[in-house]
Amino acid sequence: MRMLITTIIILVGVAYAEKFSAGLNVGYGSTTQWYDTSGKAQDFDGTFSILNLGLNAKYYILSPEIGPKVYAGVDFKFSQHQLSFSLLGASVSVSSGFSP
């Protein structure tokens, strides 16, 4: 938790600098349906969910008021895919883990 708070403080501090930009992206989605070949939604006995987290930082090498900007940066994206369903009366859960 301490590392997360430190990271957020650094990202906010860097974002206020004139030539730096930093961001955090979070996304989550879940469904209990799939689509067949005719395009109709079909229910399945389970849940599929995705969690995405992205961190990015940019340093603007050239940033005129008008016109294109030139920057160098990094972009880290992590994702977790999870599928939970019933198979022959038993509950099954499969996860990719939280990885890049």
Mean pLDDT of 22-51: 88
Query: CA-CA distance, 9 to 21, in Å (whole number)?
Result: 13
pLDDT of res. 68: 82
- Long-range contact list for 28-32, CB < 8 A, 24+ apart? 28/52
User: How confident is the model over 55-89, as pLDDT tens digits?
Assistant: 898 888 877 778 787 888 888 899 998 988 877 77
Query: CA-CA distance, 16 to 25, in Å (whole number)?
Result: 18
